[in-house]
């Protein structure tokens, strides 16, 4: 039995330049209200955003004193997910905590 053989010759190289672009980043912001407890905000910052106790308390005081605080900076999909998680957990616990995201400038 004769088995055919194939040879592939590549006489030229192809240079491909790929330009990688950093994804846009979004700032996730917690907003102050008159009903959500400080303890709940700290819990959200620890559970949803992975902050340490000290970081969470510091951000919570920003929310309380300045009217809002930055919970984190993420790619669009991750920021959207975090905002949805905050709203879901807040509603489950009877709080009107508001969370938004803005494109980083």
Give pLDDT, residue 51: 98
Q: What does pLDDT average to over the chain?
A: 92
Q: Residue 77: which CATH number?
A: 3.30.1390.10
Q: Of 88, 102, 85, 91, nearest to 28 (Cα)?
A: 102
pLDDT in tens, 5-49: 666 656 666 777 888 889 999 999 999 999 999 999 999 999 999
Give me the half-sphere count of Cα atoms (radius 13 Å) on the Cβ side of residue 33: 14
Its domain, for residue 78, covers: 25-103
Q: Is 103 exposed, middle or buried (0-12, 13-18, 19+ CB in 10 A)?
A: exposed
Tally of domains within the chain? 1
**For residue 39, is it within any domain?**
yes
Give pLDDT, residue 79: 98
Residue 24 Rama label (left phi>0; alpha psi -120 to 50; beta): beta
- pLDDT at 91 exceeding the cut of 90: yes
- pLDDT at 3 exceeding the cut of 70: no
**For residue 12, is it within any domain?**
no
**57 vs 82: CA distance, rounded Å:** 19
**39 vs 92: CA distance, rounded Å:** 15
**For residue 18, is it within any domain?**
no
Could you tell me the strand order of the sheet in which 25-31 lies? 68-75, 25-31, 98-103
- pLDDT at 69 exceeding the cut of 90: yes
**For residue 11, is it within any domain?**
no
């Amino acid at each position: 039995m004769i088995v055919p053989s194939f040879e592939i010759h590549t006489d030229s190289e192809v240079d491909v330049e790929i330009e990688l672009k950093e994804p846009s980043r979004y700032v996730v912001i917690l907003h102050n209200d008159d009903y959500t407890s400080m303890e709940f905000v700290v819990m959200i910052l620890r559970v949803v955003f992975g902050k340490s106790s000290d970081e969470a308390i510091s951000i919570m005081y920003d929310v309380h004193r300045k009217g809002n605080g930055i919970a984190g900076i993420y790619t669009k999909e991750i920021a959207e997910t975090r905002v949805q998680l905050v709203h879901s957990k807040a509603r489950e616990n009877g709080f009107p905590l508001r969370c938004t995201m803005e494109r980083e400038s």
